Structure 1
Amino acid sequence: MSKKEKSKNKDENIKETDATKEQDTIEKNEISEIADEEIKETDVTAELEAKVSELQDQLLRKAAEFDNYKRRTENDQLNLLSFAAESFITKILPVIDDFERSLDHISDAESAEAIKEGIVLVYDKLLKILDEQGVKKIDSVGKPFNVDYHDALMQVKDDTVPAHTVVEEVEKGYMYKDKVIRHAKVIVSEDVGEQNNEDNENSSNGKDDSE
């Protein structure tokens, strides 16, 4: 092989090597660009997912706030209605008291019988209306004294019933549904043993004073 041919082959090898290097560089650059694009897409996806999660949290919070507001509004309306009804009932109770007093004091004469019957009809009708609204009388006479339902005006001796029993009702008590809106004013039987102790103490104190 002549020097000229050797030189030619050498130049061709050099060109092929340069071309290979150039191709490798192009491929590396393309790979690098693809990797950069994938990284960018990953970042965008993560950002979008975070935004979606944030919006979902905001939506859940708004829904919870709306539910709370709705419940609060409904409770306020119920409380308002309950208060209005309770106020009306409290005002009408003295009217019932007056009816009861009138019935107690009407004579048994025939001339008064018609008046009494008329008052009884009105009284019963009024009680029926209150009963339909959830107003009930508190049964007191013969029941054990209970501070949740009764106000004791005084105590009396009564051997026919156990101690601390309601023996007389001075003014009726009423409940509106499950709430006491007026305690019954009652007279309660006293504990004879307690009264005897008090009498003995008073007697003993009297003796001491005389000495």
Structure 2
Amino acid sequence: MTGAFRERAESRPDRTPLATVSRAALMQNAVSSQARTYSSRLLRSDAWGHGTDVVVDVLSEAGLTPADPADAAAPDPVDPVALFGLPGAPAASTPALRFSGAVLATKNLRAGEGVSYGYLYRAAADTRIALVTGGYGQGVVRSLGGSVAVTIGGHRRPIVGRVAMDVCVVEIADAAIQRGDEAVFFGDPARDEPSLGEWCAATGLSGGELVTAAGLHAARRVIA
């Protein structure tokens, strides 16, 4: 991270990215499962980062009741992959968690200049970069640098260089991007948002591992 970026990032009181959980998506997925009960395994790690209270409330509203704990060896009546809309879910499932950050600052980068720790990325030509909230401390896995893109203003922008603890760097070129703009890490591909599946391919981790890390370490907001 460059000195100018570090100073601007530290002056911001809240650099935590946002995990937005959709009750509507959870409800749709629960109803589509056609299950009548759910296992307590569905609620591990704060319901896979989605929030135990909201998941239990949605399941109850959908008419599902807790399965008999004595039947612990039985398969889950509700598949968490389907309920949370993770990669590999049925086509009818919708991702229930959207993970996003925000632009902290933008900066010109000259050809040959590097960014982030170790300067693993150096600009091939003059360009611009943005510092975005969200690093490995909030579930943006280090290996994602140089491997995936975020969406800012409806356009894909690549993450470049090493992912830091609380922030990452995104190349924005000549796009009209400014401080405060939303950067979507992953969400619903049907809405032209990056897919969690891209993160699975880049990291070798499962969708469950990635969404749980984001949901547990980002600020969480539940929407209707």
TM range, normalised to the smaller chain? under 0.3
**Bigger RCO of structures 1 and 2 (CA < 8 A, at least 6 apart):** 2
- Structure with larger Rg: 1
Greater per-residue strand proportion: 2
